[in-house]
Amino acid sequence: MSSDVLSLNQNVWDSDPELFELIQKEKKRQLHGLEMIASENFTSLPVLQCLSSCLHNKYSEGLPGQRYYGGNEFIDEIELLCQKRALELYRLDPAEWGVNVQPYSGSPANLAVYTAIVEPHGRIMGLDLPDGGHLTHGFMTATKKISATSIFFESMPYKVDPNTGLINYDNLAQSAKLFKPKLIIAGISCYSRCLDYKRFREIADENGAYLFSDMAHVSGLVAAGIIPSPFEYSDIVSTTTHKTLRGPRAAMIFFRKGVRSVNKAGEKVVYDLENKINQAVFPGLQGGPHNNAIAGIATALRQAMTPEFRNYQEQVVSNAQRLCDGLQKCGYKVVTGGTDVHLVLVDLRSAGITGARAEKILEDISIACNKNTVPGDKSALNPSGIRLGTPALTTRGLKEQDIDKVVEFIHRGLQLSKMVTKVSGPKLVDFKRVLKEDDTFLQKVNQLRKEVDAFSQTFPLPGYPDY
């Protein structure tokens, strides 16, 4: 056997020990820490097996039965199976809905939707990023167009009420009447309440706009039927598959089929979304789909049809609400006053802590979260809050009583950050320097991190046992 064949069949720990050591370090970080970034989760062993399968090797531009390359007989079957399961999971009639499972991730999926139905410089409206929206919903500032969606399209944000933190649907309706968008986006990346899809639909209809729901964060909760579904009222729905859905890093786009409306002459107006969206994905924005990821989606969808998955999603929400209650009892302000979903947005202004300092101190004690804007913030680079989520912790088996311990760790970390700030002053660079150099604080951080590590290790990670 040639040396080349031998090298192709080596394990990565033999062929590239330097890289494998880094992979093991990341596995150790995940095992020893508490993953509370709301958009992250731990996927299953079957999904990981699909991702590392021979399906990775095949090019398959086009749709099933319409490929540009040969040799796709079984790839077609896998993609059709994935489409079938996607419609079944969300209880959709194939005569009324179709789905494209080829998008590489959520951001490309959303850009494909805009490319399909909004002409260049056409108008879109999405929840503003500082108010809990997503970059791909048209984010821009007064001085710069940040997202490609604001470069290629004309975007106007809608906002939350700065006092309640809740979406101001009345203001959205007024703005839409003036702006006349082609597309209204109902979707979030940091908003802890269920969306009023019926009201979104009414506003869209008043302005002849499409309603596009981005359920990336909550798709697992929707699949389990424990929060309202966007499908009843939406024309298009997109989702990532790796957040609450707990699949691989990929995305799907669902689109309406059949009759859209009846005009004044009594004639039926039929949706023309299917070809437009399919062609926007390929050849518009992508090349060959990632067949290993599509297989991973398919098996994740199968898992999501089980009673165990519904129980998991119910626990995700219960844990988020327990987290919210615990933080409020510690004196922290939670935006909107609570949560209906998997995340909690904590406003730290009244506690005298910045989001960046909170994120840093929690990372140092092995709790991963992210700094986040809260209503009224002027800068996304210097926000006043942190976003905390429970999907990943719930996957590892944490229940309400365990969340109480997590709240204790968070509170102790945040209180420690206030002590450090008194020494460091207001600048983040000085805060980090004091954390790194002050022996007293080093000891306190190390002690707290050891407690978090010991607690975290009692909960297993799904996936391959060794890496």
Give the catalytic positions in this structure: 190, 242
Q: How far apart are CA 140 and CA 302, in angstroms?
A: 38
- For strands 251-256 and 259-262, give the pairing: unpaired
The DSSP output letter for 285 is I
Q: How far apart are CA 21 and CA 24, in angstroms?
A: 5
Residue 191, classed as helix, strand or coil, is coil
Residue 34, classed as helix, strand or coil, is strand
Tokens for 249?
């890093």
Closest Cα partner for 386 from 353, 434, 342, 412? Answer: 353
- For strands 236-240 and 333-334, give the pairing: unpaired
List 268's β-bridge partners, or say none.
262
Strand ranges in 44-122 using DSSP code E only, listed in sequence order: 62-63, 66-67, 97-100
Q: What are all long-range contacts of 267-273, with beta carbons under 8 Å and residues at least 24 apart? A: 271/235, 273/116, 273/117, 273/235, 273/236
Cα distance between the two ends of the chain: 28
List 35's β-bridge partners, or say none.
368
Q: How many residues does the chain have?
A: 467
Residue 202 C-alpha from the chain's centroid: 26
Contact 417, 411 (CB under 8 A): no
Q: How far apart are CA 319 and CA 315, in angstroms?
A: 6
| Residues 6+ positions from 91 with CB-CB distance below 8 Å | 229, 231
| Residues 6+ positions from 210 with CB-CB distance below 8 Å | 117, 182, 183, 184, 204, 235, 236
Q: How far apart are CA 40 and CA 351, in angstroms?
A: 27
Inter-CA distances, 14 with 3, 8, 9, 17, 21, Å: 14, 11, 10, 6, 11
List 98's β-bridge partners, or say none.
255
